[in-house]
Amino acid sequence: MNIPFVKHTLDNGLQVLVHEDHACPIVAVNLWYHVGSKNERPGHTGFAHLFEHLMFEGSEHHDSGYFEPLQQAGGTLNGSTNSDRTNYWEVVPKHALELALWLESDRMGYLLPALTEAKFNTQRDVVLNERRQNYENRPYGLTTMAILAALYPPEHPYHWSTIGEVADLHAATIDEAHAFFKAYYHPANASLAIAGDVTTETALALAERYFGEISAGPAVPRPRISAALEEERRLVMEDRVELPRLYLSWHSSSMFSDQDAELDLLSDLLANGKTSRLYRRLVYERRVANDVAAMQNSREMSGFFQVMATPTPGRGLADLELEISEEIDRLVDDGPLESEVERSRAQVEANFIYRLQTVGGFGGKSDQLNAYNTFLGDPAYFDRDLAQYLKVQREDLREAAGRYLDRGKRVTLSVVPTGRTDLAVPASEPVVAA
C-alpha cells in the first residue's frame, strides 16, 4: 500500500512531486512551506500564521482575493499553519490546473510588491479577532497556551502557540513581515505536490514554467532543541466555564521518531471509543466523568502526550487524576491485552486507508506526499510509516507507557469555574494564559 509518484527538483530548489490518478477529472495542487511558529522568536511571534492570511489577499499580478477566481472555476482551496509548516492547497477541475499553479507561483515569487500597510494592518486585526473568538472567548480556549508555556521554557520555539502573542502582533511591523517572508517563503524551502488527472510530463513542465524563474532564497537552518520536565507541575486556571476539566500532559517523542507510533496507539487504546480503558472506567463503570480523550501531539522537534477529562457535575478533579493515574500505572505494570492492541492497530490501518481516498485537501494523497517529503525528505515513506504501527506488540506499548507517562514528570492543569479553585487538584499553583 503506497502512493506512486515522481520527484523532481527544479534548479531553484523547489521539490516537485507528481502523482497520477485518472479516476476523476480533477487535479490537486498542494504546496508546503517548511516554516511554522517554531521559526519565530520570543517577542516576535505570530508571523507564520499571519502570512497564512496575507497569502490569500493578492500578489503583484493578481492583486485581489484568491478564493473568487478558483471557486468560479469550480475549485476548492484552503490553507493552514502549525508549529512546523504552512500549507496551501487547491482542488480544481483539470482545465483549471494552470490557474491554480499560476496563482501559487505568483504569491511565492511576487507577494511583497502587493503587500501594503493597509493589507498588513487589516489582516493583523483579523488574526487578533480570530484569537479572541477561538481562544480568549471560547471555553477552555486558553488551556493549550498554558500547557505549552509550562512544558517548554520561554526560549524554546514550542513555548508559544501558532496564533501568536497579543503584544507581539500589535508590535509587528510591515518591515519585519517582509524580512520573515524573504527568509522562508521561497522555492528552496518548499515542496509542491500535483496529484490527479494529469500526466507526469505535463505536470513537471507546468511546474517549471510557473515556478522556475523564482529565485531560490536563503538556506533555512533546522534547529533541534530538546526540553524535559524533572518534576510534576500542578497548575490551576480559572475560566468562564460551567464544569471543571483536567489536563495531564507529558513530553513525548517527536514526529516519525522511535515510539511515536507506540504513543499514537496508546492514545487510541486509552481513550478512543467506548471500549477504551479510560472511557470504560471513568464514564461507564465509575461514572465520574462525562468525557475523556487522549492524543499524541507529534511535532518535528518533540511531541507531547495528553489526557483530558471532564468530571460529572459535583465531582472535583482530584478523583479524576487518581483514576487516570491508576489506570496508566496498571497499563505499565501489566501491559495491554492482545485484543486491545489488535483493535488499535486496525483503527490506525483504517485511517491510513481512508487518507488514500482523495487526491487533495487536508490529509489527501498530495498532502501525505508533502508531509513525508518535508519532514523526512522521503515521499515514499507511506508504507513504512504504516508498518511502524502494524509491528507494535503488547510489550512495546507497555514500555512506551512506562518511559513517557511518568506521573512525576508531567504538567497537571486544572481548569475550574471562576472562583472555584477548591475543585482543582491539590497543591496547584495559579496560572494565567494571555
What single-letter amino acid sits at 116?
Answer: T
Q: What pLDDT is recorded for position 57?
A: 95
Grid cell listed for 298: 507529534
Q: Tell me how far CA of residue 343 lies from CA of 7, 46, 347, in angstroms.
A: 35, 40, 6
Weakest mean pLDDT among 35-49, 188-202, 219-233, 381-395: 219-233
- CB-facing half-sphere around the CA of 92: CA atoms within 13 A: 25
In angstroms, rounded to a whole number, what is the distance separating the alpha carbons of residues 359 and 363?
Answer: 9
**Can you name the residues that pair with 15 across neighbouring β-strands?**
9, 191
* Cα radius of gyration rounded to whole Å, the chain: 23
In angstroms, rounded to a whole number, what is the distance separating the alpha carbons of residues 203 and 188?
Answer: 19
Mark residue 304 as left, alpha or beta (left: phi above 0; alpha: psi -120 to 50; beta: remaining).
beta
In angstroms, rounded to a whole number, what is the distance separating the alpha carbons of residues 234 and 215?
Answer: 50
Q: Domain-by-domain residue ranges, the chain?
A: 6-211, 233-430
Q: Which CATH fold would you assign to the domain 6-211? A: Cytochrome Bc1 Complex; Chain A, domain 1 (3.30.830)
**Can you name the residues that pair with 76 across neighbouring β-strands?**
91
pLDDT exceeding 70 applies to what percent of the chain?
100
Q: What is the dihedral of CA 202, 203, 206, 211, to 10 degrees?
A: -160
**Can you name the residues that pair with 28 across neighbouring β-strands?**
91, 195
Q: What pLDDT is recorded for position 223?
A: 83
Which residues, at least 6 apart from 331, have a Cβ–Cβ distance to it below 8 Å? 266, 269, 270, 277, 397, 398, 401
Q: What pLDDT is recorded for position 83?
A: 97
pLDDT of 308 higher than 90: yes
In angstroms, rounded to a whole number, what is the distance separating the alpha carbons of residues 331 and 221?
Answer: 40
Q: Which CATH fold would you assign to the domain 233-430? A: Cytochrome Bc1 Complex; Chain A, domain 1 (3.30.830)
pLDDT in tens, 175-196: 999 999 999 999 999 999 999 9
pLDDT band for position 1 (cuts 50, 70, 90): confident
pLDDT band for position 270 (cuts 50, 70, 90): very high
Q: What pLDDT is recorded for position 316?
A: 87
Q: What pLDDT is recorded for position 345?
A: 94
Q: What pLDDT is recorded for position 40?
A: 97
E strand or H helix at 148, and its extent? helix 143-151
Instruction: Give the pairing of strands 303-311 and 411-417.
Output: unpaired
pLDDT band for position 314 (cuts 50, 70, 90): confident
E strand or H helix at 307, and its extent? strand 303-311
Of 212, 186, 204, nearest in space to 16 by CA: 204
pLDDT in tens, 121-140: 999 999 999 999 999 999 99
- Does the fold of domain 233-430 match that of domain 6-211? yes
Residue 390 near residue 344 (C-beta atoms within 8 A): no
Residue 189 near residue 48 (C-beta atoms within 8 A): no
Share the mean pLDDT of the chain: 96
Whole-structure pTM value: 0.95
Residue 79 near residue 55 (C-beta atoms within 8 A): yes
Of 364, 355, 352, 358, nearest in space to 390 by CA: 352
